Structure 1
Amino acid sequence: MQNESKAIGKREQARLAGVAAELRAKEHLLLNGLHFVEQNYSVPLGEIDLIFKDANQWVFVEVKYRADNTHGSAAEQFTSAKRNKMHKAIMCYLQQYNLNLNHTSLRIDVVAIDDEQLEWLTNV
């Protein structure tokens, strides 16, 4: 029972750290001139952490956080599998809001946060 409550405590801590990382990323992008549209867009095929507009370009953002780099950096956690799931979610978003892929300028950015260091990778 005690091990189970420790596991729940660790999961909750990880969830809260993820929420804080998304908030930090959102604030950073706002301070850099992007316009916030939506957060935590989710469909069965995937999810998008943050959605912004940068002038006429849609910006779909994945936020990755690592408290330490024991298992690799935050940026390294944006794998091809994650990119594929995110791409599927973007296609759903475009369809839901009647945005034509051929006439919609978009990019995927990653905000990687390793402990206190934030790195914004554009057009990954």
Structure 2
Amino acid sequence: MRAAGDVFEQRARAELERAGLTCLAHNYSTRYGELDLVMRDGDTIVFVEVRYRKSASHGDAATSVTTSKQAKLILAAQHWLAAHPQYARHACRFDVISYDGPVNAIRYKWLRGAFEAS
């Protein structure tokens, strides 16, 4: 499944770069989990979770970013910001890029500001 995840992360990165964002990091690992992509959108730092679901039998890809997953992503983002203090004062947001369906009929969705750190 890691190989499929890599393919969709690369695809998401390309989509975001076409939209004008700049990649600052990818697959950034912390003890809290991994940040798939860290992008810069103007002066905003964007932490991007990329999800793929071939089947919606357990919900779509975007809804798989549960409250507990969000909490881990927030902690990982805080870790990234602490390690990169030059970005610590920038506005931040959490986006989810989801891919749903079989590869030959994939649906792409970019949820800007999908959730917030409280």
TM-score range, shorter chain: 0.7 to 0.9
Name the TM-score, length of structure 1 as normaliser.
0.84
Native 8 Å contact 2:26 2:36 kept in 1: yes
Gaps of 5+ in 2: none
Greater helix percent: which structure?
A: 1
Distance 2:87 2:21 in 1: 21
Superposed CA RMSD in Å reads 1.2
For 2:19, the equivalent position in structure 1 comes to 32
Count of aligned pairs: 110
3-state DSSP class of the match of 2:113?
coil
Which structure's residues are more often strand, by fraction? 2
1:121 aligns with 2:111: yes
**Misfit runs of 4+, over 2 Å:** none
The question of whether the paired residues in 1 share the 8 Å contact of 2:45 and 2:87 is answered with: no
- Stretches of structure 1 that go unaligned for 5 or more consecutive residues are 1-13
State how 1:93-112 maps to structure 2 within 5 Å. 93-99=80-86, 101=88, 103-112=89-98
TM-score by length of 2: 0.88
Structure possessing the higher radius of gyration over alpha carbons: 1
Distance, in Å, in 1 between the alignment partners of 2:87 and 2:98 is 29
Quick one: distance in 1 between partners of 2:47 and 2:94?
A: 5
Measure how far apart 1:104 and its partner are: 2.0
1:99 shift after superposition: 4.5
Q: SS of 1:30's equivalent? A: helix
